[in-house]
Amino acid sequence: MKIIISHVNMDYDALASMIAAKKLYPDAQLVISDKQDDRVKRFLNIYRDQFDFVRDVHVEWSKVTTMILVDVASLGRVGKISDDFDVENVNFVVYDHHPEHPNNVKRNDGVVEPVGAAVTLLIEEIKERQLPISEFEATLFGLGLYTDTGNFIYKNTTTRDLQAASYLMDYGMNLEIVQRFSEQTLEPAQQDLLDQLLLNSKTYAIDGLEIIVSTYQLKKFQGGLALLTSKLLEIKGGDAALTVVKMKNHVHVVGRASSDRVSLPPLLKKFGGGGHKHAGSATVKHADQDVVLKDVLNHLDTMLQPAITAKEIMSHPVKTLTPETTIEEAGHLMYRYGHSGYPIVEDGHLVGLITRRDLDKGNHHGLGHAPVKAYMTTNIISIEPETTLEDIQKLIIEHNIGRLPVLQNGEIIGIVTRTNIIEIIHNEIGSIHEGKDSNLTKLHLAKEMEKQLPQEVFTLLNQISETANRMYIPVYLIGGIVRDLLLKKPNDDIDIVVEGDGISFAKGLQEDYGGEVLEHDNFGTATWTHPTGLMIDITSSRLEYYDRPASLPDVELSTLEEDLNRRDFTINAMALRLSHDAFGELIDPFGGQDDLREKKIKILHNISFIEDPTRIFRAIRFEERYQFLMDDQTENLALNSIDKVKELTPNRIIQEMKRLFNEGHPPSVTERLFELNFWQQFGIQSSHQAFSFQTSKVLQKMYHKFTEDALEFIGNDEPSWFTYFLIPFHANSTIQDAEKFALTKDNMNLYQEIVHLNRYNEWDDIKKIGDYHVYLKDHSVEAILFIIANGTIKNRELAVEYLKRRDRLPRYFTGGDLMKLGLKPGPLFSELFLQLEMSQLNGEIMTKEKAEKWIEVFLKRQT
């Protein structure tokens, strides 16, 4: 016998999940208890005849072989089960979205995953099996979805829930009925209980949070306590509400929360209950109400996450101004560092604040020469290092201010801004605290580091961690290696960033483990060579400032946050803590993980490409390397900034092109540079895009084919990057514009060869292989293949055969041999050898004897 069952006090999600499960298991019996949520009772009063329910007390439990549990995973919450239920021999199928609990059954099948509503899991399976559903079923499933996700605004809501709702709309879900039956109206008895709960409620202030606890006793059971607890929280306006109500012989504990710092399950589990982070309940049977209440109060701290304090989210060290700093200079500094305000400090004490708005007023009145003290705000609201996030939010909202200085013993040690608050609220930089139930849990990659990195590298990072702890210096692994760890791609390029003196830290490593340190004082960096030979670059965290587009940046020391902020793309702006207590903890302030998952290249700042146009080339490199794409905004910014590449020196362009073509797929690189209007900056028409792409492919295929055929004359299995670079210029008939990029001897030789070969127009008249020798005998294979690929030589097969024969051409005679015949060196020598080699290439001379006879005939003609 198969049965489908859910928890007591059945809500819409439980009901919807049962009916959905019936679609999957049509031979199973629906089983309910006598306790349902009041809204479900109203619904069943109208639609009960639509369902084939059996009360739990009427089930022959000894015959149950399969139990399908929905919206619940523990037998303790499913109502009355008789003693003859053989739990050991029952097959359990579970569809649940609650966190795992030790009391859960051991399931044999089903799905337990964290979505907003349990019915979502069943809808997904119905969709996968392509089972039809009626409009009524779609509407009932929608009731479960909408009520358990709070109309999709609860924090446990996922994209899967929204996709499930969309699927239900396709099957006729009636939103009017969903709205009508999901409304929470109070019956008179419930209103009376709510009034008593409000009257008896007490507020407990714990670590910056307000926890409301209320209690009451009823002689009979009253449904809707979950709704009343939500109402209590809404009316009182705290961070969490707990109600402890005795009904008959049992004590019911219900919790609701609105703060991310509250997680109800740890408290409710002590009473045998459970639920979600912000909603749950427990029933303590045959218990004393006062005892339960006392236990609840004694364990309130178990459901609280540690407070996030100003010390943990503030920006530090703080850049400050003196009262005598001019308004003009302050404005320049704000622009340089991207700040919107500055603390004003005199003799170590905070005396005021100046904002961009204050400066605008001063400049408007022509007072750029005036000191900031004339315009600064002196009515300062400050906070302490231990001020909680909740209190900080209240101050910012109450006083409508954008920044709060953090003072300790009268000295400013940091500053908290609206940006810091927004980052925490939206979880863009993760939580300062860890915890299984926290939405702000940090990602730790220590195990991935050990798994992916070579053993000697991982050991070295642990040694760096030990030295960092000894010296009390924050140290981070940064750059491409963090990105590639997340992508599970090899990368042994170790870059260490120190919040402080990088050179001093390098010396500390040398002191602890030996090796050598090479200092770079001008840049505040050092290279430490470990005794094993491993070289580690150690850098002080820094920020960069560009005085003009395409210039090299000015650099100065900064915080890690500012260091990451200067990076090019979100996927490169991540770091790993190497401190001993948080080794491997990921710092991802700009959502780099999400962009890796979505395979996006996303620029950090709107003017990044203007400041450094070479970042456009790096974006293409990452597209090629990882098969990612720039997001729409990044690509638009690249297009809008591409004209700045003309301000780069030829050498900088060459270095980037060399990396691009050597690392990427040259034909697609050529095409991508057209799409981003790079070639167009040098007068090349967009109409040559397809031809240049095709020419690059032809050239590459020829090299690969010759390599496969083991033809030694080819030299390399890939053309040089410069060969690919010349293709668009050649296609545009402006090859001369590429001369300024030929900065090496090899590249200049190739350029000159191609220019020289372009002067010939006789290619179409050539009928024999040897005839090519007149024009090509002194030219390199690379130059010849270039003009073949470009279509300058129409008979590609004949020209390629020429190269093959030229490579195997035997030298039957030397100049010395001719001198022995009485000939003097001169033009005749060159003409003789040219004609002889042409005859050999044409297959007319195959042996030395024939060559001797040919020379005799040739010389007779000359006399």
Task: Give 626-654 pLDDT, tens digit per residue.
Answer: 999 999 999 999 999 999 999 999 999 99
Residue 363 and residue 479: Cα distance in Å, rounded? 41
CA-wise closest residue to 639 among 680, 671, 598: 680
Q: Are 362 and 356 in contact (CB under 8 A)?
A: no
What are the structure tokens assigned to 127, written together?
């969709």
Quick count: other Cβ atoms within 10 Å of Cβ 435? 15
DSSP 568-633: SBGGGS-EEE-SGGGTTBEE-TT-HHHHHHTTEE-BSSTTHHHH-THHHHHHHHHHHHHT-EE-HH
Mean pLDDT for 118-144 is: 95
DSSP annotation of 285? T
Task: Give 421-448 pLDDT, tens digit per residue.
Answer: 877 765 533 333 333 333 334 578 999 9
What is the pLDDT at residue 79?
80
Task: Give 514-543 pLDDT, tens digit per residue.
Answer: 999 999 876 678 999 999 988 899 988 865
- Residue 557: pLDDT band (50, 70, 90) is low
The answer for residues whose C-beta is within 8 angstroms of residue 650's C-beta and 6 or more apart is 740, 741, 743
- Judging by DSSP bridges, how do beta strands 535-540 and 525-529 pair with one another? antiparallel
> Bigger pLDDT: 692 or 273?
692
- Residue 551: pLDDT band (50, 70, 90) is very low
Q: Are 202 and 213 in contact (CB under 8 A)?
A: yes
Mean pLDDT for 231-245 is: 93
Provide the total of helices (H) and of strands (E) in the chain, helices listed first. Answer: 35, 27
> Bigger pLDDT: 492 or 269?
269
pLDDT at 554 over 70: no
Mean pLDDT for 742-760 is: 94
CA-wise closest residue to 626 among 671, 574, 677, 569: 569
Tell me phi and psi for residue 636, to 5 degrees.
-65, -40
Q: Are 156 and 276 in contact (CB under 8 A)?
A: yes
Provide the β-strand partners of residue 245. 216, 252
Mean pLDDT for 18-35 is: 94
- The 3-state DSSP class for residue 97 equals coil
pLDDT above 70: percentage of residues in the chain: 94
pLDDT at 48 over 90: no
Residue 403 and residue 329: Cα distance in Å, rounded? 21
CA-wise closest residue to 727 among 655, 807, 650, 673: 673
- Residue 546: pLDDT band (50, 70, 90) is very low
pLDDT at 555 over 60: no
Question: What is the residue-averaged pLDDT of the chain?
Answer: 89
Tell me phi and psi for residue 246, to 5 degrees.
-95, 130
What is the pLDDT at residue 618?
96
Residue 146 and residue 853: Cα distance in Å, rounded? 99
What is the pLDDT at residue 437?
34
What is the pLDDT at residue 181?
86
Q: Would you give the distance in Å from CA 554 to the centre of its chain?
A: 28
CA-wise closest residue to 226 among 256, 187, 193, 195: 256
What are the structure tokens assigned to 830, written together?
């060159």
DSSP 199-255: HH-EEEEETTEEEEEEEEEESS--S-HHHHHHHHHHHHT-SEEEEEEEETTEEEEEE
pLDDT at 147 over 90: yes
pLDDT above 90: percentage of residues in the chain: 58
What is the crossing angle of helices 781-789 and 796-807, to 10°?
Answer: 170
Mean pLDDT for 89-113 is: 91
Side chain identity at 209, as an amino acid letter? L
- The 3-state DSSP class for residue 543 equals strand
pLDDT at 486 over 60: yes
> Bigger pLDDT: 464 or 826?
464
- Residue 260: pLDDT band (50, 70, 90) is confident
What is the pLDDT at residue 438?
34
- The 3-state DSSP class for residue 55 equals strand
How far is residue 102 from each of residues 75, 269, 274, measured CA to CA in Å? 12, 10, 11
